[in-house]
Amino acid sequence: MLRVILHIDMDAFYSAVEQRENASLRGKPVIVGADPKAGKGRGVVAGCSYEAREFGVYSAMPISQAYRLCPQGIYLRPNYELYEEASEQVMRILNQFTEKLEQVSIDEAYLDVTGKVANFEQAAALANRVKQEIKEKTQLTCSVGVAPSKSIAKIASDFRKPDSLTIVPAEKIRQFLAPLPVIRIAGIGKKSAEVLRRMKINTVGDLSATHPGKLAQIFGKYGTRLWQVAHGMDDEEVITTSAIRSIS
């Protein structure tokens, strides 16, 4: 049975909303988070623009480190009420395209559009309509991954950010995944990636070629899950949610 899942991931959400509200910030390195206090501030980066990322700044980085990398950046304290309003606007748009929507954070969601399309060509057209609708109504961009499962759709949405659309039909999953670094799989952080590196597992292709029992010895049940994702095996359902948000 054809199964089609979309993962919508808003691009640099906090800084993009700030740039939308203040045109003078557009094209500049905007860093949302704690007060840097000339490189001595405490706290972390909550979000940053792609212009700031060119200097090596990224979310969850200590704000003092961000300041050392990008002292010329524009540092803003978070306006969570504004971000919530923008998020609600985006989710209302997404709800128009399917009854099965799972919001997993303030700026991302899964859509099950299995009953709305007959093939992945139609899915691509639908995803483009989603992107266009969001851009026209919110002046924000998003990246969309389209795949037969949630795990692959999420990897696909992150593949060519920002403002991208990546389609991965079932027959191309292994080809798509094989060359990617293992850290692209959701849940694999720096520590897990380092453990895998010591096992000479650097890519998803390496991971898929590893015996699942070996992974289970190191990671327990999660090791089996990693092996399954590397093979495109994921039947996790999109669970309809309301107002579930995660704010870093």
State how far the Cα of 50 lies from the Cα of 58, in Å rounded to an integer. Answer: 9
Q: Which of 84, 108, 194, 237 is catalytic?
A: 108
Q: Is the peptide bond preceding residue 71 cis, with omega within 30 degrees of 0? A: no
Contact call for residues 48 and 21 (beta carbons, < 8 A): no
> If we measure between CA atoms, which residue out of 68, 60, 55 comes closest to residue 33?
60
Q: Tell which phi-psi region holds residue 139, choosing left (phi > 0), alpha (psi between -120 and 50) or beta.
A: left
Pairing of strands 45-48, 30-33: antiparallel
What DSSP letter does each residue of 182-244 carry, written as one string?
GGGSTT--HHHHHHHHHTT--BHHHHHTS-HHHHHHHHTHHHHHHHHHHTT---PPPPP-SS-
In the sheet that holds 45-48, the strands lie side by side as 45-48, 30-33, 74-76
* 108 among known catalytic residues: yes
State how far the Cα of 72 lies from the Cα of 69, in Å rounded to an integer. Answer: 9
Strand ranges in 25-107 using DSSP code E only, listed in sequence order:
30-33, 45-48, 74-76, 101-105
Catalytic residues: 108
